[in-house]
Amino acid sequence: MVSYDEGASAPQPTRASFLGRYVFSTHHKTIGLQYLWLALASVLVGVVLSTLLRVHTSWPDTAIPFLTGFENTPERYAAVRLLHGSLMVFFVLTAAPQLGFGNYLLPLQIGASEMAFPALNLVSLWLTVISLAGMTVSFFYTAETGISVWLGSAAIFSIGALLSALNFTTTTIDLRTEGMTLPRLPVTVWAWFLNSILSMLIFSVLLAGCAALLSDRLLGSQFFSVASYLAAQPLNLVRQGSSAALWQRLFWYFAQAEVYVAMLPCFGIVTHLVSTFSRKPVWKERLVVLALCGVGLIGFCVWGYHMFATGMNPFAPLVFAVLASSLGVPAAFLLASWLGTLWEARLRLTTAMLFSIGFISLFIAGGLSGIFLARHDLRSAAVSEDFVIGHFHLVMGVAATFAILAALFFWFPKLFGCRLSETLGKAHFWMTFAGVYLIFMPMHWLGLLTQSRLLPDEQRAVLASAGSSIRTLVTVATIGTVFAQIIFVINFVQALLRRKRVQEEANPWRATTLEWSVASPAPEENFGNAKPTVYRGAYEFPAGLATDFAPQHLSPELLAQKVG
Partner 1 sequence: MPGSTATQEIELILEKKTSDGGGGNLPPTGRNGGGDDGKRPQRENSSPKRYFTGMALGIVSILMFFMALSSAFLLRRGNGVWIPVQIPMVMWINTIVLLASSATLELARQRLADGRLSTYRNLWLVTTVLGVGFVVGQAVAWRQLVAQGIYLASNPASSFFYIFTGAHALHLMGGVAALIYVAKRNFNQAKVTRSAAAEVTSYYWHFMDALWLFLLALLYLGK
Q: How far is the CB of 259 from partner 1 (least distance, A)?
A: 18
Q: How far apart are CA 296 and CA 166, in angstroms?
A: 16
Interaction of residue 557 with partner 1, rule CB under 8 A: yes
CA distance 506 to 202: 38
Do 271 and 513 meet the contact criterion of CB atoms below 8 Å apart?
A: no
Among residues 175, 264, 321, 357, the one that binds partner 1 under rule CB under 8 A: 175
Cβ nearer to partner 1, comparing 181 with 380: 181
Per-position DSSP letters for 291-351, written without gaps between them = HHHHHHHHHHHGGGGGGTTT---TTHHHHHHHHHHHTHHHHHHHHHHHHHHHTT------H
Q: What distance in Å separates the CA atoms of residue 548 and residue 527, rounded to the nearest whole number? A: 24
The dihedral sign for the CA sequence 494, 495, 497, 501: positive
By C-alpha distance, which of 315, 291, 293, 292 is closest to 304? 315
> Is 286 buried (19+), middle (13-18) or exposed (0-12) by CB count in 10 A?
exposed
In angstroms, the CA 383 to CA 206 distance is 28
Q: Is 165 among the residues that bind partner 1 (CB under 8 A)?
A: yes
Q: What residues between 397 and 426 interact with partner 1 by CB under 8 A?
A: none
**Which region among 379-387, 399-407, 507-515, 527-535 touches partner 1 (by CB under 8 A)?**
527-535
Tell me which residue of 37, 65, 40 sits closest to 51, measured CA to CA: 65
Amino acid found at 517: S
Contact track, partner 1, 427-466, x by CB under 8 A: ----------------------------------------
Q: Of 348, 442, 437, nearest to 399 (Cα)?
A: 437
Applying CB under 8 A, among 19, 530, 543, 563 the residue interacting with partner 1 is 530
Give the residue with the Cβ less far from partner 1, 17 or 313. Answer: 313
Q: Which stretch binds partner 1 (CB under 8 A): 72-80, 381-389, 485-493, 553-561?
A: 553-561
What is the H or E stretch that residue 140 is in? Answer: none
Q: How far apart are the first and last CA of the chain?
A: 47
Residues in 177-236 that interact with partner 1 by CB under 8 A: 177-179, 181, 200-201, 204-205, 207-209, 211-212, 215, 219-223, 225, 227-233
Among 12, 58, 170, 472, binds partner 1 (CB under 8 A): 170
- The C-alpha atoms of residue 209 and residue 57 are separated, in whole angstroms, by 32
Determine if 301 is a binding residue for partner 1 (CB under 8 A): no
Q: Does 514 bind partner 1 (CB under 8 A)?
A: no
Least spacing, CB of residue 501 vs partner 1, in Å: 35
Among 64, 150, 536, 551, binds partner 1 (CB under 8 A): 536
Q: Is 57 one of the binding residues for partner 1 (CB under 8 A)?
A: no
* CB closer to partner 1, 80 vs 165: 165
From 50, 113, 271, 478, residue interacting with partner 1 (rule: CB under 8 A): 113
Neighbours of 35 (CB within 10 A): 26
Contact between 296 and partner 1 per CB under 8 A: no
Among 57, 72, 485, 533, binds partner 1 (CB under 8 A): 533
Q: Which amino acid does the sequence have at 322? A: V
- CB within 8 Å of 372: residues ≥ 6 apart: 378, 379, 382, 383, 387
The mark string for 252-291 relative to partner 1 (x by CB under 8 A, - otherwise) is -x--------------------------------------
312 touching partner 1, by CB under 8 A: no
**Which one, 50 or 177, has the nearer CB to partner 1?**
177
564 near partner 1, rule: CB under 8 A: no
Task: Note whether 492 binds partner 1 by CB under 8 A.
Answer: no
Query: Which of residues 343, 531, 548, 561 is near partner 1 by CB under 8 A?
Result: 531
Which of 9, 73 has the CB closer to partner 1? 9
Which residues lie across from 545 on neighbouring strands?
A: 563
Q: Is 313 in the site for partner 1 (CB under 8 A)?
A: no
* 323-327 long-range contacts, CB within 8 A, separation 24+: 323/298, 324/373, 324/374, 325/371, 325/374, 325/375, 326/298, 327/295, 327/298, 327/299, 327/302, 327/370, 327/374
Which residues are near partner 1 by CB under 8 A?
Answer: 1-9, 112-114, 116-117, 162, 165-167, 169-171, 173-175, 177-179, 181, 200-201, 204-205, 207-209, 211-212, 215, 219-223, 225, 227-233, 246, 249-250, 253, 529-531, 533-536, 555-557, 560
